[in-house]
Structure 1
Amino acid sequence: MRRIYYGRVSTLDGQTAASQYADAAAQGIDRDDVFIDEGVSGYHVAPADRQQWQHVERDLRKGGVLVVRWLDRISRRYDELHSTMQRLMSKGVRVVCTLNGMEFDGAETDPTKKAVRDAILAFMAAQGEADYRNRREMQARGIEVAKAEGRYKGRKQAVDYAEVRAWKAEQGATVRATAEHFGVGVATVARALAEQ
């Protein structure tokens, strides 16, 4: 049975997928069966709109095992996580979370066990979205307080945005090539271009 690992990293600045690659290796999953979307929000970008997730869905269309660190790697939105998991369950996929060993088996036929599985899934999906919203709200409050006290200066830019724009225009380079040239993530280059 095919075992696939899916990971997601929200930002390219400061976060890496290294821990998720290590998690996959610890589960005995070959690198060829690891799909990680980098620089992708689990709240703002639906799974179906992610490049690596599309490979996962294609490869699991006839069942198999999907291994994730935690369900929030799939989505941090209740409705999206719930519908994505139900789609996987309907194909007989078993989803395994390495963080706590929880399993959601799409091949389950016992109605009571299916009901328990779906109830736990619904709770985890709701908790994931609530955690995300709470964290964002607390961050915004902290920034407001720091601004009022004159302590908040904003995030320091990793590179000079004008320099990034000039080099990209001069070279006719792609966003990814520009990011590699400056040693930053594509999100940083996108912010530099948006500031024009």
Structure 2
Amino acid sequence: MSAREEMLSAIRRANASATDTPVPRDYERRSPHSPSELLDLLTDRLVDYKATVVRVPLSELPTALADAVAPYSPVLVPPDQPWDLDATPDSPALGPHDLDGFAAVVTGCAVACAETGTIALDGGPAQGRRAITLVPDVHVCVVHGSQVVGSVPEMIAALTPTRPITFVSGPSATSDIELQRVEGVHGPRTLIVVLACEWQ
């Protein structure tokens, strides 16, 4: 018997004797925080991750977005974006080299988790395809207060597992090389979160 056959045989024997074990779900699944506390917690986490957070009432979202992208040009947006910005709508014809020519991208999100400071993108409304949030150097992300949940289980429950999910916790960064933090290696070097809600 070859080493390959021996290993496959061992895997088959292990699979044959495997049984389904119920997963305990008695852990905390909902955050005890109030909506305003969730916004404070999300802001704190994102700032700790070196993101810029701009908190505004919903009525001031257009002005806040215009101010956020003012230093950057050109700006890319998803084709179904609901904001009135001087920006270029994304198109499948734009390849990686084309996307690299944009200074910033503006998107929405699917949900945000306050406890971990994580924003989830799933290619849904106002989010566009995954590539547009990875190539431009600046990502401006609009998060509505109603999209902020407290815990990871709440965030996962709000997502559809068959969609292309990307989790964002601050600017792209790595410390793989000599433990020196380098930003912008795997995505945007700058993350600006515009947090808009009916309450503050």
TM-score by length of 2: 0.25
Name the one with the larger strand percent.
2
Return the structure number with greater helix share: 1
